[in-house]
Structures are given as C-alpha cells and as structure tokens.
Homo-oligomer: A and B are copies of this chain.
Amino acid sequence: MALVVQKYGGTSVGTVEKIRNVARRVAKTFDDGNDVVVIVSAMAGETNRLVALADDICEFPSEREYDVLVSTGEQVTIALLSMCLQSMGYNAKSYLGSQIPVRTDNDHSRARIKSIDDKKVREDLKSGTIIIVAGFQGIDEHGNVTTLGRGGSDTSAVAVAAALNADVCEIYTDVDGVYTTDPRMVPEASKIEKISYEEMLEMASLGAKVLQIRSVEFAKKYNVVIHVRSSFNDKPGTLVMKEDQEMETVLVSGIAYNKDEAKVSVLGVPDQPGIAAKIFTPLGEAGITVDMIIQNVSRDGKTDLTFTVPKADCKKALKIVEEAAPTIGAEGVAHNEAISKVSIIGVGMRSHAGIAQTMFETLSKEGINIEMISTSEIKVSCVIDSKYTELAVRVLHAAFGLDNPTSVE
C-alpha cells in the first residue's frame, strides 16, 4: 500500500462533470489499495471572476483582503469534490489550508510555506478517509489567510507530499507529461519518461509551463517524486526525480525556448571597476530581473555591456539605463526586442564533451547568428534573432537525437 498525493488543476475541475471525472480517478486510486490525499485548485475561471470583482471595487486591493477573497475558489472545489466522493460511497473530508494547518510566512499573495502539520491528516487516513486539501492557501502566524501566488497549488501538493513522506506526488494536467520540446512547434517531440529536478528547473525557468518552479525546488529539497500526467487518460506521464545514472547517458534531455526577453546594450563603457554596479543596482531596485549578462573584452579601455530583461520590463529598464549611461561615460544605449533564447538542457552534459560545439555548429549550418551565449553545468543558452526560433528548436531537436528518443547515444 502506497500513500499517493494527487493534484488536479483548474481545468481538471472546471465543471461539475469534470469534478465527477476526478472523483472517479481518485476513487480508483483508493480502490487499488492506496491512501489518497488530493490537492485541488479553483474551478477554471473562478479565480479570474474573483479578481475581476476586486478590480471593480478598487485599483489597488490590499493583499490581505485579496487573499481572503481568492482563497474561496479552492474552498468551493474541495467541498464539491468531497461531496461527490461521499455520494459514491467513500469517506472523504475536506481541509482548508487553515485547518491542516499549512503555515506560511505573511507575504500575502506570494507566501512561502514554512511547515505543514500532518497529525490530523494521518489520523483521517488511518480511518480510511480520502483527504481533499485546498491548494494555493495557508495561514500565517497570526491566523491571517495567505495564498502562494498563481500556480501555488503545485507547491501545496509537493509540500503536502513532503510532509506526509508520500510515495509519489501526481500532478494532473491537460498534457501527457514533460516533452523534449514544445510539441506544438515540433511534432516529433516526445514525452520524457524521467527527468531530474535540475533539468526540470531549467526547463521551467526557460518557459516550459508544465510545473511551477517553486514546486520543483520544493520537491528537490525534500526528494519528492513528482509524476506529471494527464487527467484525461491513463497513460504514464513524466517522473521528475533525483538524478540517476540512466539520465546521464542521455546527452540532451530537452530543448527549451523563451521569446519573452529583450536585449539591452550599453555601448562604449569605460572598463573600470564599479561600472556594472551602477547599471544593475538601480535595475534591481526597480524590481527588474536581469537574466543573461555578457561583457565583451575591452578594446581601447572601452567595452560593451549587454543583458536581457523580461520584454514587459524593457521600457522601464531602458529609462533607467539611459539615465545611468552619462554618469558612467557610456557612449550610448541600444536595445532589441526581436530576440529569443534557445537552450539545450541535460545532466549528460556534465560527463560529455563537445555538446556546446554541436549546438553552435547546428545553428551555424542554418545561417543562424548567435548574439549571446550563456552556459551552466547542465544547460547552454543562445540568444538569436526571434524569427529563427522555430527553425533553431527543430534543428537542435534533430541534432541531439530527440526526434527518435530510442536512438539516443
């Protein structure tokens, strides 16, 4: 007998009929002899409806009251799913974040989980009860309702799985698992059977939106095995877990891309200590996340400093940089929003040489110019002209043998 934690997102519980489907799936897992704890999101559309009410009331709703408001979405779902299971003859019991309790810090609307009490849930499991937990919510030390931010139900699920030392945390979604790349872009993309936490973190941060990053960080920290799978079929999905030897035999696990960044260059900067700080400190203070940073070798005591920021922050970043430029003696500022970042990811890179080179050659063969490069232990990212995004992803997918995953190596 295993302890299975399952998480169903908003689209999986979007209607009464879909909640019935989820109940049947939960019941089957229970009938198979498992203890089952289910974490659910708000019904699809419900959170948006609540946010629209808040927007109607005032421009800048207080975050404390915002959390009181939006946390009702999950509360509705846990009650309906529990009722449904009960009507099918099962013992089921709903838990709000405040009832378990899921303790968080008091950073409303983006709170972080500090601890989860497993006492009541364990007692109920012992008595053969299926537990339904409201995702996305918790309480702070003063009993205020908090929420974890959009997608927080994934994190709730992994945290509950960690607290209960569950055998697996199944995250149900509307896709079959994690793919070697975006299947809408590359029809040859295939489902990955197993992927390490580190690879999944890179995939997620590069725009693969299957799992929320914080939930993967949590899973990594507490060694929770995540099984990403579809709520619409019974096929096995992708296991996100601790790296194993098998994973290392694969050169590249996936190709990710991100079209949401823009490139900013500060040109002809005197190559002196302290210059970078004068650029990046005000950007940080303005809450702008800088991703890649490249500084070329200096010629005649001058250098170019190039970095990427989220496209949505590009205007704000330009204004800050243009103000700072004269004070550091820079010759000018340039920017380009028509870029994209294409990345290859794989723990196999650690033990295989020549992978970056293969990437550069593959892009070069198609005449795609590489504007920026950044690397980590398990990732190589190249910034290219955005019009080549699809082409680059496709040729890289083929070059690293992902079009037919059984032939890898």
Give A residues with C-beta under 8 Å from B.
16, 19-20, 50, 53-54, 56-62, 64-66, 68-69, 71-72, 75-76, 78-80, 82-84, 86-87, 93-94, 96, 98-99, 143-145
Contact flag A80-B69 (CB < 8 Å), given A16-B53, A19-B57, A98-B98:
yes
Main secondary structure of the interface of A (DSSP, over half): helix
Q: Looking at the assembled complex, report how far the CB atom of A215 sits from the nearest CB atom of chain B, in whole angstroms.
A: 25
Q: Tell me, in angstroms, the Cα distance from A60 to B59 when the chains sit together.
A: 41
Instruction: Contact check, B68 vs A96: say whether CB atoms are below 8 A apart.
Output: yes
Q: Give the 9 A-B CB pairs with smallest separation, nearest first.
A: A58-B87, A69-B79, A72-B72, A68-B79, A16-B56, A65-B79, A61-B83, A65-B82, A65-B83
Instruction: Contact check, B62 vs A86: say whether CB atoms are below 8 A apart.
Output: yes
Instruction: Contact check, A62 vs B82: say whether CB atoms are below 8 A apart.
Output: yes
Instruction: Contact check, B96 vs A83: say whether CB atoms are below 8 A apart.
Output: no
Instruction: Contact check, A76 vs B50: say whether CB atoms are below 8 A apart.
Output: yes
Residues of B within 8 A of A98 (CB): 98
When the two chains form the complex, which single residue of B60, B83, B143 contacts A62, counting CB atoms closer than 8 Å? Answer: B83
Q: Looking at the assembled complex, report how far the CB atom of A26 sits from the nearest CB atom of chain B, in whole angstroms.
A: 14
Instruction: Contact check, B68 vs A75: say whether CB atoms are below 8 A apart.
Output: yes
Q: Tell me, in angstroms, the Cα distance from A87 to B87 when the chains sit together.
A: 44
Could you list 13 examples of A-B contacts with CB < 8 Å? A16-B53, A16-B56, A16-B57, A53-B80, A57-B83, A61-B86, A62-B82, A62-B83, A64-B93, A68-B78, A68-B96, A69-B76, A96-B145
Q: Tell me, in angstroms, the Cα distance from A181 to B57 when the chains sit together.
A: 38
Instruction: Contact check, B76 vs A57: say whether CB atoms are below 8 A apart.
Output: no
Q: Looking at the assembled complex, report how far the CB atom of A106 sits from the nearest CB atom of chain B, in whole angstroms.
A: 14
| CB closest chain-B residue, reference A50 | B76
Q: Looking at the assembled complex, report how far the CB atom of A75 sits from the nearest CB atom of chain B, in whole angstroms.
A: 5
Residues of B within 8 A of A56 (CB): 16
